Structure 1
Amino acid sequence: MPKHIDPVCGMEVDETTQFKTIYKGKIYYFCSAMCKREFEKNPEVYIKEGPRGMPMG
């Protein structure tokens, strides 16, 4: 099964994760609801700058 990198924290996740979203036609996979929420607040930051570690709170 292909692995994906959580765009917020950089963790490896697989496609079976329940935390995913589609942005501009691409599916992004997350390790947690917290990372998914953080990405959805400002996806361009994570797409352009890459993972920044686990979000706080």
Structure 2
Amino acid sequence: MKKNNKVLRDPVCGKKINKNKAYAKETYGKKEYYLCCSLCQSTFLKEPEKFIN
């Protein structure tokens, strides 16, 4: 089975992160967002609209 090693960008801090190693995954609307740490996750959850574009 092949792992998904896709590299994504944390929408809050802009850091490149591996999808499989992300600290958290949040869904907003119909899209998934991957976050690198608890601080980025809490920041995203407070104002997701600020980070989705």
> Do both proteins adopt the same fold according to a TM-score greater than 0.5, normalized to the shorter chain?
yes
Structure 1's unaligned 5+ residue stretches are: 49-57
Partner of 1:24: 29
SS at match of 1:34: helix
Runs of 4+ in structure 1 over 6 Å off: none
Count of residues paired in the alignment: 48
C-alpha distance in 1 between matches for 2:48 and 2:7: 20
Cα deviation, 1:10-57, whole Å, max 9, x if unaligned, reads: 000111123110110111001101101100100111123xxxxxxxxx
Rg: which structure is higher? 2
The structure whose RCO (Cα within 8 Å, separation 6+) is larger is 1
SS at match of 1:7: coil
TM-score (norm. length: structure 1): 0.75
Structure 2's unaligned 5+ residue stretches are: none
Q: Please state which structure has a larger fraction of its residues in strand.
A: 2
Instruction: Please give the root-mean-square deviation of Cα atoms over the aligned residues, in Å.
Output: 1.0
